[in-house]
Chain A
């Protein structure tokens, strides 16, 4: 039953996504792949669209997957499931357990999770970059174009911070990458 799967799948995303939208990406990736809802290609597309449209990234991804799998009702269910844990936890913490996140033991467990999430996100990004460049398809073992563009984009993105403090925005990077993609595929 797709609606139940969407609800449970995104409940897990909402309950374990620490560190904002990008923290949700490894979870959405594993959930969506396990159920066969998304491949890495479409996930990348949707991350870019979520970054370039307003609103929380995790919520945007949930809405898209829900809609693609189960129409408007599917979108409603996936979105609700994603925000439900955060909503309930804040309500409970504010009303009943005001001091629980000041507890040193709880704090140390959360610190452990925060450190862990950094490793998980980095691995996800590195793995996706690797897949963009190597073993892209049965014929292409090494896509040198992808490597060159990735290197150039990284140089522009990180290099711009040396010139201007803020550097270029993620949206501008996406636009530059899109235009480059169109030009090399003409």
Chain B
């Protein structure tokens, strides 16, 4: 029980003190879980980063689940993840209760007029950062360009096609290209 509470409060602290989402948390998770608590090794931290990038869902949740599971199995994962989300859950819940009324204040509405413009820039910046991390090969560029065009078309025409459909198309194309290359290699080696 003591270990479970330690997991809960350690991740609550990480969740409470990092701004800007999951990727911003990785350095603090590393410092806390690898260096201070020695719950995982540096190699495992690298594994977590790969795992978080290759699986869906919030990066922070991938991390807390991994470390919690490593320490105390399923129940450990549960406590670590609950710790991770509890602080922001309480904060956002509190904000949601007064946000609508707050928005009616004239200067607040003015501030959010400006903020709205900044948010579009932040989203574009997130895409640029992710683009830089991609493997540099033609297929990557083709898929990214296709997804951009498809998503734009969906938005402009406001048709109800989920972006999930685009993701599944790209995953399938990428897999087919890989399989085709592998078959070619096999035949050449025969």
Contacts and interface: CB of A to CB of B under 8 A. Distances in A.
Contacts of B119: 44, 47-48, 51, 128, 174
14 contacts: A17-B58, A20-B59, A49-B95, A64-B92, A90-B65, A109-B174, A115-B140, A115-B141, A115-B170, A120-B166, A149-B117, A157-B118, A157-B125, A176-B118
A121 B58 contact: no
B61 A170 contact: no
Interface of A: 12, 14-22, 24-27, 30, 34, 41, 44-45, 47-60, 63-64, 67-68, 72, 75, 79, 82-83, 85-87, 89-91, 93-95, 101, 104-105, 107-129, 132, 146, 149-150, 153-154, 157-158, 169-171, 173-174, 176-186
A169 B20 contact: yes
Interface in B100-135: 103, 106-107, 109-128, 130-131, 134-135
A59 B88 contact: yes
Contact of B144 (A30, A82, A115, A185): A115
A157 to B, nearest CB: 6
Interface of B: 15-23, 25, 50-62, 65-66, 69-70, 74, 77, 81, 84-85, 87-89, 91-93, 95-97, 99, 103, 106-107, 109-128, 130-131, 134-135, 139-141, 143-152, 155-156, 160, 162-164, 166-167, 169-175, 177-179, 182
Contact of A20 (B21, B113, B134, B172): B21
Given A56-B61, A112-B170, A146-B117, A83 B81 contact: yes
A22 B127 contact: yes
B57 A119 contact: no
B170 A63 contact: no
A41 B99 CA distance: 13
B120 to A, nearest CB: 4
A104 B58 contact: no
Nearest to B52: A20
Most chain B CB atoms below 10 A, which of A24, A117, A119, A132: A119
A121 B127 contact: yes
Nearest to A85: B57
B147 A116 contact: yes
Contacts of B70: 94
A59 to B, nearest CB: 5
Contact of A86 (B65, B111, B170): B65
B66 A75 contact: no
Contact of B124 (A50, A63, A125): A125
A78 to B, nearest CB: 10
Contacts of A47: 119, 122-123
A157 B60 CA distance: 26
B58 A21 contact: yes
A64 B148 contact: no
